[in-house]
C-alpha cells in the first residue's frame, strides 16, 4: 500500500491530544493479568518484530523468534533464537511446542503453506500479519472485515495488486489450516520508531530543517496510520483474550483529514517552519508527487484506500497513542539511523522535487 474530515487543529495541545486516546489508556486496556504464553514469532528483527518481542516479554510471555540470523534486532535477554529460512529451511522449528505463532514476515503464499503445515500440530493459534492491501482496488468506501478480499491478479504489472493478492492468499491458507484457531490482522501504514521504510520518517527528517515545507493533498483527504507499538499491543491482547477471526489494523482515531495531520506535524516538530498546502491533484501528478505517507492521492484504484473501517478492532481493544507522541518519538529515533541511510534516504519528496514544486506552485 502506498499511501483525509473534521475541524482543523486550533492549538498545539489539540495536535497532541485530539487525534487519539492517551498512551496511558492504551496500556491500561491491556493491563489485565494473563497466564504466560509460549510465543513463536516468524521474524522478529525487522520493524514490527523488536517491538513485538519487547512488548510480549513485558507482559510475561516466553518468546522464540525464527529468522535468518542476519540481524540482531536489539532484543532483550531470554529470547530463544532459531535460525532458518521461510523458503523451505524450517528444520529448526520441528519438535517445538508453542501456544501461538505470530507470522510477521510472510508475503509469499508458499511460505505460509509450509509454515502452517509444519506448525498445525505444534501451536495453538496462528496470527498472520496481513495488510489493508487485500482491499485493493479500494473501490469500497469504509471497507470492513466482511468485504471479500481481492484474490485474482488482473494486471501483473500493478505491484499494489500483486502484493494485495499475495496477502489474500496467505490469509486464506492460515484460515484453511487453522480454522477457528486462526487470526488475521490487516494493518494500514505502520509508523513509528524503527521504521525500515523511508515513508513516514520523511516528516521527522524534513520539519527540523525548517523553511517552506510542501504538504500535498486536499484538505479533507482522509489519512490513516497505526503506531507500531499500538499494533503489537493489539496482537498480544488478541492472543491473551483468545480472539479469532479478522481485524483491520487501523485505529478509529487516526482517520483524520490530511490538513489536520499536517497541522499536527507542524505544531509538534517545528512551528517555525512554513507549511505550503498544495491541493491541486493535476499539479501534484505533474510534479510526480502522488503520495507522501500517510497521505495518498485518492483517485482510481486508491479512491478509498485511507477510509478503512475501524469499529471492530476498536471494540476488540485496539487503542492508539496521540499522533504527537508518535511524531516526537520518530523524530528522536531518526538521528540514530545509520548515517548512510540518513544521507541518502529514499524519500518520495526529495529536496529537488520539493524545490521545483514549490517554485512552480508559487507561479
* pTM of the complete model: 0.90
CA-CA distance, 308 to 161, in Å (whole number)? Answer: 17
How do the pLDDT tens digits run along the chain, 363 residues long? 443 323 322 332 333 343 433 344 444 444 444 799 999 999 999 999 999 999 999 999 999 999 998 888 789 989 999 999 999 999 999 999 999 999 998 999 999 999 999 999 999 999 999 999 999 999 999 999 999 999 999 999 999 999 999 999 999 999 999 999 999 999 999 999 999 999 999 999 999 999 999 999 999 999 999 999 999 999 999 999 999 999 999 977 667 999 999 999 999 999 999 999 999 999 999 999 999 999 999 999 999 999 999 999 999 999 999 999 999 999 999 999 999 999 999 999 999 999 999 999 998
Q: Is residue 210 part of a domain?
A: yes
Among 202, 195, 325, 345, smallest CA distance to 268 is for 325
Q: Is residue 46 part of a domain?
A: no
Q: Is residue 56 part of a domain?
A: no
Q: Is residue 38 part of a domain?
A: no
Q: How many domains does the chain have?
A: 1
Q: What is the CATH number of the domain that holds 236?
A: 3.40.50
Residues 326, 10, 6: CA angle, nearest 5 degrees: 80
Residue-number span of the structural domain to which 157 is assigned: 12-33+130-362
Q: Is residue 68 part of a domain?
A: no
Q: Is residue 221 part of a domain?
A: yes
Can you list the positions of beta strands (E) in the chain?
Answer: 38-42, 62-67, 80-83, 98-103, 123-129, 182-187, 190-191, 212-216, 222-223, 226-227, 245-249, 256-257, 274-278, 291-292, 295-296
Q: Is residue 27 part of a domain?
A: yes
Q: Is residue 273 part of a domain?
A: yes
Amino acid at each position: 500500500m502506498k499511501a483525509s474530515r473534521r475541524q482543523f487543529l486550533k492549538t498545539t495541545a489539540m495536535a497532541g491530544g485530539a487525534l487519539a486516546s492517551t498512551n496511558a489508556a492504551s496500556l491500561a486496556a491491556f493491563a489485565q493479568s494473563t497466564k504466560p504464553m509460549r510465543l513463536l514469532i516468524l521474524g522478529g528483527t525487522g520493524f514490527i518484530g523488536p517491538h513485538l518481542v519487547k512488548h510480549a516479554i513485558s507482559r510475561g510471555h516466553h518468546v522464540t523468534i525464527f529468522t535468518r540470523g542476519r540481524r540482531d534486532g536489539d532484543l532483550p535477554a531470554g529470547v530463544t533464537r532459531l535460525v532458518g529460512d521461510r523458503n523451505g529451511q524450517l528444520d529448526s522449528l520441528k519438535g517445538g511446542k508453542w501456544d501461538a505463532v505470530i507470522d510477521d514476515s510472510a508475503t509469499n503464499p508458499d511460505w505460509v503453506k509450509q509454515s502452517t503445515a509444519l506448525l498445525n500440530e505444534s501451536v495453538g493459534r496462528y496470527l498472520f500479519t496481513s495488510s489493508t492491501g487485500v482491499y485493493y482496488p479500494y473501490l469500497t468506501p469504509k471497507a470492513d472485515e466482511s468485504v471479500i478480499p481481492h484474490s485474482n491478479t488482473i494486471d501483473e504489472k500493478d505491484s499494489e495488486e500483486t502484493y494485495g493478492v499475495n496477502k489474500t492468499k496467505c490469509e486464506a491458507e492460515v484460515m484453511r489450516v487453522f480454522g477457528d484457531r486462526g487470526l488475521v490482522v490487516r494493518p494500514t501504514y505502520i509508523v513509528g520508531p524503527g521504521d525500515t521504510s523511508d515513508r513516514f520518517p520523511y516528516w521527522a527528517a524534513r520539519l527540523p530543517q525548517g523553511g517552506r515545507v510542501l504538504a500535498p493533498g486536499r484538505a479533507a483527504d482522509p489519512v490513516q496510520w497505526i503506531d507500531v507499538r499500538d499494533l503489537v499491543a493489539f496482537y498480544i491482547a488478541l492472543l491473551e483474550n483468545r480472539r479469532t477471526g479478522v481485524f483491520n489494523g487501523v485505529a478509529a482515531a487516526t482517520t483524520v483529514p490530511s490538513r489536520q495531520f499536517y497541522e499536527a506535524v507542524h505544531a509538534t516538530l517545528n512551528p517555525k517552519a512554513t507549511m505550503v498546502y498544495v491541493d491541486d491533484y493535476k499539479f501534484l501528478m505533474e510534479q510526480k508527487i502522488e503520495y507522501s505517507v500517510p497521505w495518498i492521492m485518492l483517485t482510481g484504484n486508491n479512491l478509498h484506500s485511507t477510509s478503512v473501517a475501524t469499529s471492530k478492532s476498536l471494540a476488540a481493544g485496539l487503542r492508539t497513542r496521540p499522533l504527537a507522541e508518535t511524531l516526537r518519538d520518530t523524530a528522536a529515533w531518526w538521528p540514530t539511523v545509520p548515517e548512510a541511510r540518513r544521507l541518502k534516504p529514499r524519500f518520495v519528496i526529495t529536496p529537488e522535487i520539493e524545490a521545483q514544486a514549490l517554485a512552480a506552485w508559487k507561479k
